[in-house]
Structures are given as C-alpha cells and as structure tokens.
C-alpha cells in the first residue's frame, strides 16, 4: 500500500488523537529529521497488517524504534486526557526485553490508563482509522476514570 492510498483512506486532520500522536513525534525530533515528512508518513508505522504482524518475530528484543512508537502512542493519550480534563498526566512504559510489560498513564494518585502489553514487537493497528478509534476509546475511558475518582486524581 502506498502512502497516497493511506492518505486517501483516512484524514489525519479529522482525528484529535492522530494529531496528538503527530505532535508527540514532532516534539521529539530535535534534529529536524521529520521536518519535511507528512503527518501520514509519520503515522504509517502504526499501521501493521495481520500478515505483517505474523512476520515479526517476538523472540528478540523490542527495538528502540518500536519502543518509541509505543511511548508516543501513550503520550498522545496522556496529552488528550490533559486536553479534556485539564489535569497533568505522566506516562510510564515498562517493557521487558521479551515484549511484555505495562503501559501506565497516571494523574495524581489515579491510574488513568493501566494496560498490560504483550508482544510489543508487533505493536500496531489494521488501519489509521483503527489507531484513531482505539486511541480515542482509551482517552475516553481515562477521562471517565478521572470523573469517577476526582479526589484520587488530585493527589
């Protein structure tokens, strides 16, 4: 699938969550490597088809690039939760070399997002639309958690 096809299938600008990921990637680009890359190109590594996933070995280490991808995804979630609630969030990704671990987003004493990671080497989604949908779903459950436990979220 060419980049143009990805572009035509889903508009990055239509998703606050995709825009948040792009922002995270560009914010962590001190040498301007990605300056001339389109948003679609930056997000392309998040789209991993089932066939592609099968080809990625889960025996080895999680490479730094994949780790960065997972981190930017959850930082985007934290940024979106901050936007919606005005509460500062922290992100911690704890990944073993075998691709297992935790992704945590917290705010005060409250865990806004608490997910176990498995086979992180294969982290990715079927389509850009799926990235946007899944991400926004996690954001909304995080916002709901803050509304449910406002005192814990404050400290």
Helix axes 16-27, 128-148, angle to 10 degrees: 90
DSSP state of 47: B
Helix H or strand E segment including 31: none
72 three-class SS: helix
Contacts with a copy of itself by CB under 8 A: the residue count is 16
Q: Minimum distance from CB of 102 to a copy of itself (Å)?
A: 5
Q: Minimum distance from CB of 80 to a copy of itself (Å)?
A: 18
> How many degrees, rounded to 5, is the angle at CA 138 between CA 121 and CA 17?
85
Backbone φ and ψ for 55, nearest 5 degrees, come out as -80, -15
Q: Which is nearer to a copy of itself, 43 or 104 (CB)?
A: 104
Q: Which is nearer to a copy of itself, 48 or 139 (CB)?
A: 139
Segment 84 to 113, residues that bind a copy of itself, using CB under 8 A: 90, 92-94, 102, 104, 106, 108-111
Q: Can you read off the two tokens belonging to residue 6?
A: 């990805």
Helix H or strand E segment including 9: helix 3-9
- Pairwise CA distance, residues 19 & 4, whole Å: 18
Interface map 21-60 toward a copy of itself (x if CB under 8 A): ----------------------------------------
Q: Minimum distance from CB of 104 to a copy of itself (Å)?
A: 6
Q: Minimum distance from CB of 103 to a copy of itself (Å)?
A: 10
Q: Which residues bind a copy of itself (CB under 8 A)?
A: 90, 92-94, 102, 104, 106, 108-111, 114, 145, 149, 151-152
């Amino acid at each position: 699938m060419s980049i143009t096809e990805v572009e035509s299938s889903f508009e990055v600008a239509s998703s606050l969550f995709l825009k948040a990921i792009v922002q995270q990637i560009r914010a962590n680009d001190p040498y301007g490597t990605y300056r001339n890359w389109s948003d679609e190109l930056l997000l392309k590594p998040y789209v991993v088809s089932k066939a592609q996933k099968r080809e990625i070995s889960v025996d080895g280490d999680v490479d730094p690039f994949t780790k960065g991808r997972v981190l930017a995804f959850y930082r985007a979630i934290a940024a979106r939760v901050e936007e919606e609630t005005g509460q500062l969030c922290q992100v911690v990704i704890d990944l073993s070399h075998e691709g297992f671990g935790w992704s945590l987003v917290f705010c005060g004493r409250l865990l806004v997002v608490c997910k176990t990671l498995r086979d992180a080497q294969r982290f990715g989604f079927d389509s850009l639309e799926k990235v946007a949908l899944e991400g926004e779903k996690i954001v909304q459950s995080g916002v709901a958690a803050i509304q449910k436990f406002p005192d814990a979220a404050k400290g």
